[in-house]
Structure formats: structure tokens, C-alpha cells
Amino acid sequence: MTFSRRIVWVFWRNLVSYKRFVLTTFLASLIQPLFYLITFGIGMGAYVGYFGGKPYLYFLVPGVLTTSVMMSATFECLYGTFVKIVHEKLYDSLIATPVSAEDAVAGDIAWGAFRGLVSGGLMMVVAIFMGILPVSLLSVLLLVLLMVFVGVLFGSLAMIVTAFAPNFDFFNYYSELVITPMLFFSGVFFPLDKFPGWMKALAQFMPLTHAVAIARAIFNGDYGRGLIFNFLVILALEIAAFLAGVRLMKRRLIK
Amino acid sequence: MSVIIRADSLRKKYGDFVAVDGISFAIEEGECFGFLGPNGAGKTTTVRMIHCVSPKSGGTLTVLGSEAHVDNRAVKQRTGVIPQEITLDNDLTVRENLQVHAHFFAIPGAEARRRILELLRFVELEKRRDSKISDLSTGMKRRLLIARALLNQPRLIIADEPTTGLDPQARHLIWQRLRQLKGQGATLVLTTQYMEEAQQLCDRIVIMHQGRILKAGAPSRLIEEEIGREVAEVRAAPERDAALLPRLAPLARGHERVGDTLYFYCDDGRPLLKAMLELDLPDTVHRPASLEDVFLKLTGRSLIE
């Protein structure tokens, strides 16, 4: 594999094009998480009351925030990248320059992570306006780092799917069979401890579970020892997914 | 003159399909070298291996002094590619397209701005520099592709069917620009299915068919060797061959029947024309031989799919 600093310029290309539709993406990436916050947070929160000594929203916000990072990074690296390969032929012109296939894919994963960060960041701003604040300024900083980290993870996973996708419909399998279950079984909306044992075990195989656990700990300044395990799981998966995503995409691009 | 690209028994396979079947050629610095062939002949596959976006399956291929392979950034840095398909960035304006590309070649900002203005003038798009790509005509898009390919001031320019889908005016403008570039010392590698394009631009051509090179040489020499100077076409049903051929064939260098037409190739058509007049044939054409005749003679006049 050959990477170079041209990754930055692939990212920059995306940034230049982004300015034309930045506002629409703000709306799109805010609406769904906002619904979760309102329906679950305020509607259900009224019944649930307190969770571990804090209002339910403190439990929910870091979960929804992480979810919106996952969604944005995923969809950018599924649909966004697919359009660039198949419809716009952008990758063809990229790899005819000194930009390698690896640079191009890594640049797009970085871009997916950035889109995730924007979505998650917007959620954080909304939460702050609702009066739900991260415990400290350090928490805010750590959450930003975490969002980038989680964005790279889900962007890379999505790249693996894109590397095999013959058309848009193919993405439905991934979003319905992987992303949606993850949304409901990763402890975003409620804790996992009341689940039966096998479901708890299953949840451990979902990267979102670990990401949400870390986000929640940072948001509330409530660090436990299990977090190192959560972090290592994501880190290992992230490295593997990144390398696999780049390699598989290269196989698709170079024929 | 020095050789800038050399291929020896170059092969390319996609699975079981052999796209390029052991071809050898040498392209010299400063010339315009054309790959001619019908669809699926292997022209595009060959140039894709030359500009290092597609790995070869066998043989050797040296470009600009180093072995061609997909991670050869040095070759890409000095090569300009005018692609067959319009691969412009539709999310960006004309100028942004060039700016982004300049970064990929690590051209410093001020120098990039200077070159972009100069190139937009060269392809007559300076008034459209802030246009969206979707507002450009096909001819403008093709010209922008040329400007983009020249940003890195390439020593080697690859043009893969650069005038496909263009009207005659736009096509001639592009030919002029390509000739201008050659005049400035660039080496041009062209693929085309248009014989006129090859005749207009190329110093030497190879005619490819089913992954192989059938013939190589200067266009005029190939015409001379394969066809002669003139062609006479006679529309007549095959049943009449028995009556016509004994009279006409000896007067020509060669002949061929395709469908409803007999083609006679000759250097001096006068005796043949006289005989045709005596036979009082109703439907005949007499014209100078062209590269198209060479091409069709070598690749077959029937439809290739």
C-alpha cells in the first residue's frame, strides 16, 4: 500500500464541493437524531425519570450523538463514494494523477469521518441549547476526538461494503441488517443489563455498543475500567476495517 | 530521437479474456503515435497500462525511463491524460476543477493560478471559468479535459478518443490544439476510431484488432503499401462476379467483395475506369485511397461486435 500527503488534497476536494450543499446536509443530519432526542428524550424521559442519579437525557444524548456520527460517516462512504466511482467517474481521474488509489480511499474515509464529526458536533450544540452539557471542557475535547475516531471506523466499514456494491440497492442490506439493528441493540436508548444473556453477548460484537459506552463515560465524566476494553475493541476493528476497506476498494478501482 | 515508451510482448488479461495479446512497439520522443482499432481492439487497455492505472499481465513496458506499474507516481507526475469519458468534477466550477487537480500534482499555488489562466485561454474557456460543469457543452467539457491534462506540463500526453461525440468545429479546434502541443515538443499518444483523426495527427500508427497489432507505420505509407493510390467501388450483386472479375481484376492491384460492393485497389485507375465504362456499370465510385480502406481491409469490412 502506498499512502502520501495527497490524502489531504482528496479531503480538500470534498471540502470545496461541500460548500455548495452544506446547509442541506446540516438539515438532513440533524433531523433524525433530533427526533430521537424529542421522542425518546422528552417523551419517554418523562416516564423514565432519572438514570444513575441524572436525568435520562444525560444518558440519551451521548448515545444519539455517537449514532449520528455513525450514520453520517456510513452514508457518506456508501452513497457518496459510490456516486464518485460509478456515476461521476471521479476516481478514474484521481488515479490518473499521482494520487494513488490508497490516497483516494483514505481521503474519502477521512471525509466521511469529518461529515460524522459535523453531525455529532451539531447534536452536541443542540444538546447544549437544551441545557444538557458535557461535564467539562475536557469532555468536549475528548468527545470531538472520539467522534473523529468513530467516524473513521464506520467510514472504513462502509468502504468495505462499497467495494462490493454493484448498485445502490446493495446498500439496503448493510443499512437494514447491520446499521439498524446496531441502533437498537447497542445501548443507545436504554441500558443493556436487562437484556437476556445472549443478547448482551451479541451486543458486544457491535462496534456501536463500545463507542456509545465510551461517549457516555466521557460526556458524564464517569470513567470505569471497562472502557479500556471498549477502546481496544474499537481500535482493533478500526485498523482492520481501514486496511480491508482500502485494499478492497483498490481491487475494485485498479483493473 | 530517443524512445520514450517501449513495450515488449505486452499482455493484459481480464480473467480468461485476453485484451492485449503480446504486442511490441516503441514510441519516440516528440512524435504523435496512434492506436487505431475497432471497439474492443485493446487500444484503451494499452494506453491505460502506459499511464500506469492498469497493471500489465505479462511482458515489459517502459515509460519515461522506468517500468510501468500502478504505483509509479513518477510517470503519472509527468503524464497528462485526456480520458475517453468526461470525468470532470460536477460539484466544482471550471476553475475549481483545475485548482483541485493542480494540488494532486503538487503545483505551488501562485504557479497553479498562472497556469490555470493560461490554459483556460489556450482552450478558449476563460469566459467560462466560474461556470458549473453542467452548463458547459460537450465540446467545452472536452476542451476543459485538455486543459486539465496539461496542468502538470506533461512530457507525455495520452489522448484516449479525445473527439468522440463532437461536432466538426469542436473536433477541428481540438485537433489544432493537439498539433500545437506536439509542436511544443510533447509526445502524443492517441487512440481513435476515426481514420481522419489519425491521418490528421499521427506520424505513425498501429492498427490493432483483437488485442494484436496488425500493421504499423506512417499513415501514408500504410495506404500506399496496402491499398495503392485509388479505390474503385462497384455496386453489383455477387452473381455478376463471374462476368465482372475476369475483366476488371487484372487491372487492379487487388480486389475484395463485401456485401453488395466490389472494391478494386489500384495505383493508376485509368485502365480500370475505362473498362468499367465499357461495361456500362450503373453504380460506381472512384476516389483516392484512404486510411479507412487500410483499416477495413485489415480488420475486415463486416461488423465487429
Q: Is residue A53 part of a domain?
A: yes
Find the CB nearest A97 among B85, B96, B105: B105
Average pLDDT over residues B183-199: 91
Rounded CA-CA distance B196/B214 in Å is 19
Q: Is B3 helix (H, G, I), strand (E, B) or coil?
A: strand
Kindly report the nearest CA distance between residue A157 and chain B, in angstroms.
25
Percent above pLDDT 90 for chain A: 69
Put simply, the answer to whether A17 touches B105 (Cβ < 8 Å) is no
Q: DSSP string spanning chain A?
A: ----THHHHHHHHHHHHHTTTHHHHHHHHHHHHHHHIIIIIIIIHHHH-EETTEEHHHHHHHHHHHHHHHHHHHHIIIIIHHIIIIIS-HHHHHHTTT--HHHHHHHHHHHHHHHHHHHHHHHHHHHHHTT---SSHHHHHHHHHHHHHHHHHHHHHHHHHHHH-SSTTHHHHHIIIIIHHHHHHSSSSS-STTS-HHHHHHHHT-HHHHHHHHHHHHHHT---THHHHHHHHHHHHHHHHHHHHHHHHHHHH--
Q: How many angstroms away from the CA of A117 is the closest CA of chain B? A: 22
User: Is 80 exceeded by the pLDDT of residue B116?
Assistant: yes
Largest CA distance in chain B: 75
Position A21 in a domain = yes
pLDDT of B303 reads: 55
In a domain, A163, yes or no: yes
Whether A49 maps to a domain, the answer reads yes
pLDDT tens by residue, A121-141: 999 998 998 888 999 999 999
Residue A1 lies in a domain: no
* Domain count within chain A: 1
Select the highest-mean-pLDDT range: A48-52, A192-196, B286-290: B286-290
- Structural domain containing residue A137: 6-253
- Looking at residue A161, its pLDDT comes to 97
Which cell is A65 given? 450523538
For residue range B30-86, list pLDDT tens digits in order: 999 999 988 889 999 999 999 999 999 999 999 999 999 988 999 999 999 999 899
Inter-chain CB proximity B92 and A96 less than 8 Å: no
Contact across the interface for B101 and A89, Cβ inside 8 Å: no
pLDDT digits (tens, 9 = 90+) for A155-195: 999 999 999 999 999 999 999 999 999 998 999 988 888 88
Minimal C-alpha gap between B27 and chain A (Å):
20
Whole-number mean pLDDT of chain A?
Answer: 92
Tell which residue, A101, A92, A255, has the closest CA to residue B55: A255
What is the complex's ipTM, to 2 decimals? 0.88
Q: Is it the case that residue B180 has pLDDT exceeding 80?
A: yes
Nearest to A89 among B51, B70, B85 (CB): B85
Q: pLDDT, tens digit, for every residue of B119-149?
A: 999 999 999 999 999 999 999 999 999 999 9
Least confident residue range of A42-46, A58-62, B252-256, B274-278: A42-46
The whole-angstrom separation of Cα A155 and Cα A11 is 14
The predicted model gives B207-229 an average pLDDT of: 92
Residues of B in contact with A97 (CB under 8 A): 76, 101, 104-105, 152
In this prediction, residue B63 carries a pLDDT of 95
Is residue A61 packed enough to be buried (19+ CB in 10 Å), middle (13-18) or exposed (0-12)?
Answer: buried
Q: B105, A13: Cβ pair inside 8 Å?
A: no
For residue B305, pLDDT over 60 is answered with no
Confidence label for A88 from pLDDT (cuts 50, 70 and 90): confident
Q: Do residues A122 and A70 lie in contact, with contact meaning Cβ atoms separated by under 8 Å?
A: no
Whole-number Å distance between alpha carbons of B209 and B188: 21
Least confident of A64-73, B39-48, B134-143, B293-302: B293-302
Which of B14, B76, B91 is facing A97, going by the closest CB pair? Answer: B76
Q: Which of B86, B103, B148 sits opposite A12 (nearest CB)?
A: B103
Neighbours of A178 (CB within 10 A): 17
Mean pLDDT within A225-237: 94
Q: How confident is the model at residue B166 (pLDDT cuts 50, 70, 90)?
A: confident
Residue-wise pLDDT for B2-23, tens only, equals 999 999 999 999 999 999 999 9
Residue A209 has what pLDDT? 95
| Strands lying side by side in the sheet with B204-209 | B79-82, B156-160, B187-192, B32-36, B204-209, B212-217
- The whole-chain average pLDDT of chain B stands at 91
